[in-house]
């Protein structure tokens, strides 16, 4: 079983819809992250959380919100999706070290 699981793996939706991407982990890590990947831009940090009570904005948080429901769960929401949010989204976790462990991503298309 994957240590970091993202659902759904693929999603196609329409502009204006509310979307939630979910992430769960079995690594026991306190720190969780959401990134988006766009061609030519690498991975950019959207939000991160160091524990259940801690939420921090990343580089590109506008248009997104997150919820840390438990140590193992970190969800990303797009309240009103727009086409330029079409991207590949990754969840990641880390423990006390610097290295992060990634899920296999959610490919999101907004029409």
Catalog residues that contact other proteins under the rule CB under 8 A: 4, 31, 33, 35, 40-45, 48, 50, 58, 90, 92, 94, 98-105
- Of 73 and 101, the one with the shorter C-beta distance to other proteins is 101
Contact 25, 10 (CB under 8 A): no
Of the two residues 4 and 66, which places its CB atom closer to other proteins in the complex? Answer: 4
Closest distance of CB 102 from other proteins, Å: 3
Count of all residues that appear for the chain in the document: 111
- Minimum distance of other proteins from residue 31's CB (angstroms): 5
Measured CA to CA, the distance from residue 64 to residue 25 in angstroms comes to: 21
Token pair, residue 7, equals 């659902």
Q: Quick one: 31 exposed, middle or buried, by C-beta within 10 A (0-12, 13-18, 19+)?
A: middle
Distance of closest approach, residue 59 Cβ to other proteins, in angstroms: 8
Q: How far is the CB of 27 from other proteins (least distance, A)?
A: 13
Q: Which is nearer to other proteins, 72 or 92 (CB)?
A: 92
With the CA atoms of 23, 2, 46 and 56 taken in that order, what torsion angle do they form, in degrees rounded to the nearest 10?
A: 70
């Amino acid at each position: 079983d994957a240590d970091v699981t993202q659902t759904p793996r693929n999603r196609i939706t329409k502009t204006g819809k509310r979307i939630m991407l979910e992430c769960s982990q079995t690594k026991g890590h306190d720190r969780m992250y959401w990134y988006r990947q766009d061609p030519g831009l690498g991975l950019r940090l959207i939000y991160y959380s160091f524990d259940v009570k801690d939420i921090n904005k990343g580089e590109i948080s506008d248009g997104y919100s997150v919820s840390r429901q438990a140590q193992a769960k970190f969800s990303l929401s797009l309240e009103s999706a727009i086409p330029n949010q079409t991207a590949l989204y990754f969840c990641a976790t880390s423990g006390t070290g610097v290295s992060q462990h990634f899920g296999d991503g959610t490919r999101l298309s907004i029409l």
